[in-house]
Amino acid sequence: MIEASPAVGERRAWGWVTHLREGGTTPWHDWSAQQRPLGDSQGRYLPGAQQLELLRRLNLVGRPTPALASQVLEASAAGRGRPDLELVGAGPESEFGPAPVDPADLSAGELVRVAASVLADQVVDAGPVPADEVGRPSWWRRGYRVVGDPELAGELRSQLVARGRPPGGREPRILVVGGDLATMAAHAWTHRAFTEGVTSWREWLRLLHERRELPRSVDLPAVARAWERRVGRERVHVVLDPSAVPRLAGERRGLTTPTYLPGEAGELARRVSAVLALLVLPEEGERVLAHRLRPRVRRHAHLGTTAASLDVPPAHRDWLDAAAERMHRGLARAGYAVHGNLDDLVPRWTSLEGTAPSPDATLDLAVRVLLDDERSRR
């Protein structure tokens, strides 16, 4: 990089800001090294390196509007991490605070922090969330409720509602749905990320293991017992084969195979959730995550039929195996109607090492979701 006086370096940085606002993708190192045109100041302070690099990444993927570009450049880097960082070579270096950086050297996690801040502002600024309108169940049809694994239950319930079959109704059957415990744990973490908030996947698993407890929603014997006390044992069905749900719910046509959000979707949601906690009350935060953020994320996430991108590290597998065996024995002794095979509760490990959400994949998803909002506005 060619040395320049502080004044020239700052004006060159403002020229790069203009370049990025106009959709440019030239990295800062190349821009400053090639003696690109100088620019005039557009504010009291230059935007931070994280904000500028995120805007450049957006330009590489799509065409952000001027409004989105301004949102990104004016955003703060939320959460724990380094404060807004200055561009190297854009001005005199201070003896205090973090050293200036080349934006290309920033980690994906640093850029996700900025993206989460922008997304939180967007979902809040979108206005109040309308009340759900799912209709009333027909009095003459067998009623149902789908509980258990929150992601699986949500997918099946949504399909039934779309068919005009809302939950509830006359003497509803309680369908306690689930699968292998490792996948259910991943689903419980994702659901928490899009509702009340949650720690990182690895940390959350560690705490569960340490306390020897399962998430309430996927402790299927406990869920079944709670409903048994309310409606009686004969109306509680444990469903480990999702294809049995339509028949049990009184729907003649079959449902499509559920698809699930990948790990990076939950990671992005939990980052946004942490920012929302500073902006709105918890109840409003849950509503905007579920109704504003989740549909946008789902449109751009790489959906799958398993939770393959959230694997369990080997250190926690023996504990989950033992918990699944206890769940198997408990449900068998309780005598509930079972649809599917209770052996499917026990995980079948397919990889030697567990995987956590990738920071790079989370950033790629965040960029696509940010651009999605702008396309929908246009």
| Residue 278 domain flag | no
Q: Is the same domain home to 350 and 210?
A: yes
User: Per-residue pLDDT averaged across 254-282, rounded?
Assistant: 94
Question: 126: pLDDT confidence band, cut at 50, 70 and 90?
Answer: confident
Q: Are 155 and 259 in contact (CB under 8 A)?
A: yes
Cα–Cα nearest to 273, from 68, 75, 79, 111: 79
Could you tell me what percent of the chain has a pLDDT over 70? 85
Q: Is the same domain home to 324 and 243?
A: yes
pLDDT at 53: 96
| Residue 27 domain flag | yes
The 10s digit of each residue's pLDDT in 273-332 is: 999 999 999 999 999 999 999 999 999 998 887 655 688 999 999 999 999 999 999 999
User: Per-residue pLDDT averaged across 115-126, rounded?
Assistant: 94
The 10s digit of each residue's pLDDT in 68-79 is: 999 999 998 765
| Residue 309 domain flag | yes
For 171, residues 6+ apart whose C-beta sits below 8 A from its C-beta are: 142, 143, 235
Q: For the chain, how many structural domains are there in total?
A: 2
Q: Is the same domain home to 33 and 182?
A: no
CB burial of 19-48 (b: ≥16 within 10 Å; e: otherwise) equals: bbbebbeeebeebbeeeeebbeeeeeebbb
| Residue 129 domain flag | no
Q: Is the same domain home to 61 and 209?
A: no
The residue segments making up the domain with residue 62 are 6-106
Q: Is the same domain home to 163 and 100?
A: no
| Token pair listed for 52 | 């500028």
Rounded to 5 degrees, what are φ and ψ at 172?
-65, 140
Q: Is the same domain home to 44 and 146?
A: no
Please name the amino acid found at residue 242: P
Could you tell me what percent of the chain has a pLDDT over 90? 67
> Is the model's pLDDT at 253 over the cut of 60?
yes
Of 137-151, 292-306, 343-357, give the range with the top mean pLDDT: 292-306
| Residue 18 domain flag | yes
| Token pair listed for 302 | 């790489």
The 10s digit of each residue's pLDDT in 146-180 is: 999 999 999 999 999 998 899 988 889 999 999 99
Identify the burial level of 134 via C-beta atoms within 10 angstroms of its C-beta, where 0-12 means exposed, 13-18 middle and 19 or more buried: middle
Please name the amino acid found at residue 76: S
Residue ranges of alpha helices (H) inside 194-314 are 201-211, 220-231, 245-248, 263-276, 282-288, 294-300
pLDDT at 264: 95
Q: Is the same domain home to 167 and 99?
A: no
Largest CA distance in the chain: 81
The 10s digit of each residue's pLDDT in 219-230 is: 999 999 999 999
| Residue 272 domain flag | no
Task: Please report, for residues 78, 149, 163, 269, 342, the alpha-carbon distance to residue 319 in angstroms, rounded to integers and kept in the order given.
Answer: 35, 19, 40, 27, 18
Question: 218: pLDDT confidence band, cut at 50, 70 and 90?
Answer: very high
User: Per-residue pLDDT averaged across 108-125, rounded?
Assistant: 95
pLDDT at 376: 45
User: Per-residue pLDDT averaged across 129-136, rounded?
Assistant: 64
Q: Is the same domain home to 53 and 152?
A: no
pLDDT at 273: 96
Q: Is the same domain home to 310 and 238?
A: yes
Q: Is the same domain home to 65 and 171?
A: no
Please name the amino acid found at residue 293: L
* Domain end call among 62, 90, 106: 106
| Residue 236 domain flag | yes
Between the two ends of the chain, the Cα-to-Cα distance in Å is 40
pLDDT at 3: 46
| Residue 113 domain flag | no
Return the SS3 of 327.
helix
Q: Is the same domain home to 10 and 78?
A: yes
Q: Is the same domain home to 324 and 206?
A: yes
Whole-number average pLDDT of the chain: 87
